[in-house]
Amino acid sequence: MATEARVVGNSTIVSTNPATGEVLAELACASSSDVQAAVLRAKQAQPAWEATPPRERVAVLRRFQRLLCEQRDQVADLICREAGKPAVEALTTEVLVILDAAEFCIHNAHDFLREEPLPHANLAMKTKRGKLLREPFGVIGIISPWNYPFSIAATETLGALVTGNAVVLKPSEFTPLIALELQRLLLAAGVNPDLMQVVIGEGPTGAALIESPIDKLIFTGSVATGKRVAEAAARKLLPVVLELGGKDPMIVLDDADVEIASSGALWGAFMNAGQTCLSVERCYVHRSLYENFLEACSNKIAKLRVGNGIGSEVEVGPLIHERQLRIVDEHVRDAVIHGARLLQGGKRLTELGPNFYAPTLLADVTRDMRIIREETFGPVLPVAPFDTDDEAIRLANDSDFGLAASVWTTNRRRGEAMAKQIKAGTVMINDVISCFGIAEAPHGGFKLSGIGRTHGKMGLAEMVQVKNVDTDLLPGMPKVWWFGYGEQFRQQMNGFIDLLFARSWGKKLKGALRSAGLLRRGNRI
């Protein structure tokens, strides 16, 4: 039985439990005209929401936060059933992350949206006063993925709403029910139904959203799809934020604690069955620790409990669908063919269900293996040795991706010095993945990992357009730089430039004398 959301005919999606194949719901797909209508409704509702004082928008988020806290077990249970992840991870990496993201918006939105005075350093501009205004784009289109179907969609939605935008959300076809649960909570908190709409479907629905009159798009997904999204958006000059995944390296230095680092590697590689853009997908260990590290990892992997995520004791759940499982299996087989040592796993667990794959440990991986070059997105920990810090940095940066990385050491200064040399949007010292749960920290990467940032103040900045308002305080006075040019004016301006920027005080004084007649210039038009 295929355990994935699928389209029946051209109009219906069936959502299923990836662990059991249980059918959870059958939902109608949004047509292109449905998407257009949703965006138009959002455009009509958005101006009133923009005019709503920030404190009232914040109050809505407070109510949402309270409802989510009260109903967290219900939400986590749905995440377990539709996305397959263990119950504890549904709480920690989805619900907890969003409760904290809401807290960040609640405490920071008002100051972020406040008018900002703009200083004028130029002497010629001292009779003016400027300020920066942050105004919403209008309607934000969000295309969110299946691997964190609640936390990614909700983080972006909350940021868009609190800054005065409307949202039209297109969730993954594999996790539509979770998006509808997010919508239910927001509407119960007081959001106008037209301000937060969900359109369900596959690729054509996402394409229709891009072609609709949205004002900005936030997309999370694969590089291949992200490139197509960017091309379509470019034809309209539609601004975008793209989060396109990673191939995150973990560097274990010679002074690291092997016991701690090996446990961190397991969680970083196998949490959410490895289906995390921030997963440890490349692990480089100093040769002096290499075999001890592999032994520790192997022993710990043998203790992991794999199964249906509904069980509170389960640590590794299923992959989302058969297609993802095939990619993982192909990467592991390719690595073994090219000389990698298979120390744990490397097989399907068909006795548990069609989408389970054993947590896998590979040693002696190299650059010519797909598992080092391509995003695997599965429960695999590939490990390779290195000899020097410079080699470790070179290996870490030897990737088309640059989302995140981690350095493991007992010397904080050494770790931070190495972090400065790694090309990634986030570098953690002695931890992995948890940066996503830091509401204040921007999330995004370098190179093929995407464009722009979500989360924190940088994430809020992606939701607004900045307007400069400048007022002249002497409206009855003609401006020095207006028409009425001539040789005298040229000489006066040269003197004024010397007054402002000449290196010697003598030249500055001469410049002041030469420019003295600027304000009395009588030939202005």
- By annotation, the residues acting in catalysis are 243, 277
Distance CA 291, CA 383 (A): 10
Contact by Cβ (8 Å): 422, 284: no
Q: How is residue 466 written in tokens?
A: 């900045």
Closest CA to 170 of 230, 94, 221: 221
- The secondary element (H helix, E strand) that includes residue 491 is helix 487-501
Inter-CA distances, 480 with 121, 337, 484, 492, 525, Å: 17, 76, 9, 11, 11
Q: How is residue 504 written in tokens?
A: 């010697």
Q: DSSP alpha helices (H): ranges in 420-471?
A: 456-461
DSSP string of 146-165, one letter each residue: SSSTTHHHHHHHHHHHHTT-
Contact by Cβ (8 Å): 189, 161: no
Q: What share of the chain is helix, strand, coil (3-state, %, to 5)?
A: 45, 20, 35
Closest CA to 79 of 167, 17, 142, 23: 17
Inter-CA distances, 198 with 71, 122, 211, Å: 21, 49, 16
- The secondary element (H helix, E strand) that includes residue 283 is strand 280-286
Distance CA 144, CA 134 (A): 25
Q: How is residue 195 written in tokens?
A: 């301000």
Q: Half-sphere exposure of residue 97, counting CA atoms within 13 Å on the CB side?
A: 27
Q: Which amino acid is at 156?
A: E
Distance CA 326, CA 472 (A): 65
Distance CA 364, CA 171 (A): 38
Residue with tokens 């997963």: 279
Contact by Cβ (8 Å): 489, 521: yes
Distance CA 399, CA 144 (A): 25
